[in-house]
A and B are shown apart, each in its own frame.
Chain A
Amino acid sequence: NAGVTQTPKFQVLKTGQSMTLQCAQDMNHNSMYWYRQDPGMGLRLIYYSASEGTTDKGEVPNGYNVSRLNKREFSLRLESAAPSQTSVYFCASSDGQFNEKLFFGSGTQLSVL
C-alpha cells in the first residue's frame, strides 16, 4: 500500500512564483488535510477537506488555495510564494467519520528565496 503520496519532496521557489503541491491517498479516506511545520511551532493546519467536494480553512490559510479534485486527491496551491511560506508541508488523510487516526505523507520541503 502506498498510503499517502506527496509530490514533490523538495522544491525551491523564488518570491512571487507559484506552484502546486500534490497529494493522493489510496485508502478510500473521506477527509484530507494540509499542514505546515516550522521549527518550534509544531504542525499548523492550513486547509482541510472533510469529504469530497468540501474544503474549509484551518489555522493559517492566508496565501494558500486548495482543491479536492476527487476523493483521492487534495492539492495545495501557492499563488505568489513568499519567504514566510518556507516550511515543510505535510498532507494527511483519515476516514474522518469518527476522527480516526491520520495517516501522513512524507512531506515536502519548500524553500522560498
Chain B
Amino acid sequence: SQQGEEDPQALSIQEGENATMNCSYKTSINNLQWYRQNSGRGLVHLILIRSNEREKHSGRLRVTLDTSKKSSSLLITASRAADTASYFCATDATGGYQKVTFGTGTKLQVIP
C-alpha cells in the first residue's frame, strides 16, 4: 500500500473560496512535499516542509505538518479556476532521503 493518502479524494468549490486537503502517512519522515498535476501533465512541485517545521507559506499556499499525527494539510486561499488540478503529497522515510513516495491525490475543481 502507498505511504500517503490524501483526503478528500475529490473537492469542488467556488472561485474565491479556500480549499483544504489533507495527507496522512505511515512512517516517520524527513520531509513532506506537495505537488500539483494538471490533467495529462507531469507533476509540478509546490512546497516542501521539513520534519522539524510546523507551518510554511508560499503565496496563497499554506502547509502544516503534525509529525505526532503523521499528517499534513495544504490550504489554498482565494482559489482560482486555474487551481483546478490534482494535488499530491510526497514523503521520504527517515533514513531514506532519496526514496520519495506519493499519496493517492486530491482532485480539486474550482468553479468560476
- Are A and B a genuine interacting pair, yes or no? yes
Q: Does the CB pair A101–B98 fall under 8 Å?
A: no
Q: Is A86 part of the binding interface, using a Cβ–Cβ cutoff of 8 Å?
A: no
1/0 per position for B90-112, CB-CB distance to A under 8 A?
10100001111111110000000
CA A104 – CA B108 in complex, angstroms?
21
- Report which of B2, B41, B48, B92 forms a contact with A42, defined as CB distance below 8 A: B2
Classify the interface of chain B: helix, strand, loop or mixed: strand
- Contact assessment for A35 and B102 in the assembled complex, using a CB-CB cutoff below 8 Å: yes
Contacts of B22 in A (CB 8 A): none
> What residues of chain A have their CB less than 8 Å away from a CB belonging to chain B?
4, 31, 33, 35, 40-45, 48, 50, 56, 58-59, 90, 92, 94, 96-107
Give chain B's interface residues, CB within 8 Å of chain A: 2, 4, 6, 30-31, 33, 35, 40-45, 48, 88, 90, 92, 97-105
Q: List 8 A-B contacts (CB under 8 A).
A: A4-B42, A33-B100, A42-B105, A43-B43, A45-B100, A58-B99, A92-B42, A103-B45
